[in-house]
Amino acid sequence: MMLEAESKGSVLLVEDHQDIAELVYDYMEGAGYELDYAPDGEVGLNLVSQNEYDAIILDLMLPRRDGLSVCRELRENLGKSTPVLMLTARDTLEDKLKGFDTGADDYLVKPFEIAELEARVRVLIRRGQVSSPADILQVGSLEFDQQSLMVKRDGQVLVLSPIGHKLLKILMERSPGIVSRRDIEKEIWGDMLPDSDTLRSHMYNLRKVIDKPFSKSYLQTRPGIGYRLRDPDDAH
C-alpha cells in the first residue's frame, strides 16, 4: 500500500461482515491510515501478537473467538495497551460494561456513521501518543506511577484498563476536589463526547478495581455534579 501523505496511524480492523469491513477499510485507507484486516478473532490475535498498531477496531460478535475474548487476551496475556474501539449491534448498559471490563476504550453501536468511526479512532490514537510524565501520583495509600503505569493500594498491585489509568490520573491530580462529568469527558474524549452510559461504565469498573477489594472507598460520586477521589482516612 503506497501513501503519498504521512500515515495517520496503523489500524487493525477485526470484522467478519464483509460489507462493513470493506466500507471501513476503504474509508480509513482513503483518510490516510494504514490498515491490516482480520475476518475473525483468532486471526486478529495472531496479527496483534506479531505487529504493533496504533488502534484496533474490534467487532464484538466474531467467529472462532468473540471480541470480548480477544480484548481480554490482548490486555491480560499479551500485555497490549493498544486503544480498542468496540463495534456492536448491542446497545445495553450491561453489554457496554462487559466490553469496558475486558479493556475496550470506546464503544460504537451499529449502524454507525463512518465519519464518526474515523473521528473516534483519531481521538484514540492521539490520546495513546501522549507521553506520561515520570512522576508518581499519591492519594493516601493509593499510588500511580505514570511512567510504568503501575497502580498500587496498600502495596497491592491493581490492574486497570487504559481508560482506567486516564480516569485515575485526572481524579488523583485534582484530589480531593470534585471533577465534573463534563470536564472528565472532555479531557478523555475531546469533542467526540460519548453517550451518557460510557463514563458511568468506566467509573463502575474503576471503582471495582480500586475500592471493591478493600473495606474503605476512595472514589466518591456526587450525583448531578461529578466525581472525586479522596483518602478515606482523611478527616477533612
Q: What is the pLDDT of residue 155?
A: 84
Name the grid cell of 113. Answer: 456513521
Q: How confident is the model at residue 146 (pLDDT cuts 50, 70, 90)?
A: confident
Q: Between 3.40.50.2300, 3.30.2270.10, 3.90.730.10, 3.50.50.60, what CATH number should domain 10-128 receive?
A: 3.40.50.2300
Q: Identify whether the C-beta of residue 23 lies closer than 8 Å to the C-beta of residue 41.
A: no
Greatest C-alpha distance within the chain: 62
For residue range 190-216, what is the model confidence (pLDDT) as tens digits? 777 777 678 888 899 999 999 999 999
For residue range 150-161, what is the model confidence (pLDDT) as tens digits? 899 988 889 888
The answer to whether the pTM exceeds 0.85 is: no
pLDDT(5) > 80? no
For residue range 177-194, what is the model confidence (pLDDT) as tens digits? 999 988 998 888 877 777
Q: Identify whether the C-beta of residue 12 lies closer than 8 Å to the C-beta of residue 71.
A: no
One fold for both 10-128 and 136-229?
A: no
Name the grid cell of 143. Answer: 499510588
CATH number of 136-229: 1.10.10.10
Alpha helices in the chain (DSSP H): 18-30, 41-50, 67-76, 93-101, 114-128, 162-174, 181-189, 196-210
For residue range 11-70, what is the model confidence (pLDDT) as tens digits? 999 999 999 999 999 999 999 999 999 999 999 999 998 888 999 999 999 988 998 899
Domain boundaries, the chain: 10-128, 136-229
Q: What is the pLDDT of residue 6?
A: 67
> How far, in Å, are 13, 35, 86 from residue 27 at the CA level?
12, 11, 18
> What is the Cα–Cα distance from 103 to 86, expressed in whole angstroms?
10
> What is the Cα–Cα distance from 30 to 41, expressed in whole angstroms?
25
Q: Identify whether the C-beta of residue 113 lies closer than 8 Å to the C-beta of residue 84.
A: no
pLDDT(131) > 50? no
Candidates 37, 86, 31; CA nearest to 59 is 86
pLDDT(132) > 50? no
Q: How confident is the model at residue 1 (pLDDT cuts 50, 70, 90)?
A: very low
The arithmetic mean of pLDDT across residues 222-226, rounded, is 88
Candidates 104, 120, 96; CA nearest to 190 is 120
Q: What is the pLDDT of residue 24?
A: 95
Q: How confident is the model at residue 134 (pLDDT cuts 50, 70, 90)?
A: very low
pLDDT(235) > 90? no
pLDDT(3) > 70? no
For residue range 73-127, what is the model confidence (pLDDT) as tens digits? 888 888 788 899 999 887 777 777 777 888 888 888 888 999 999 999 998 888 7
Taking the mean position of all CA atoms in its chain, how far away is CA 199?
A: 11
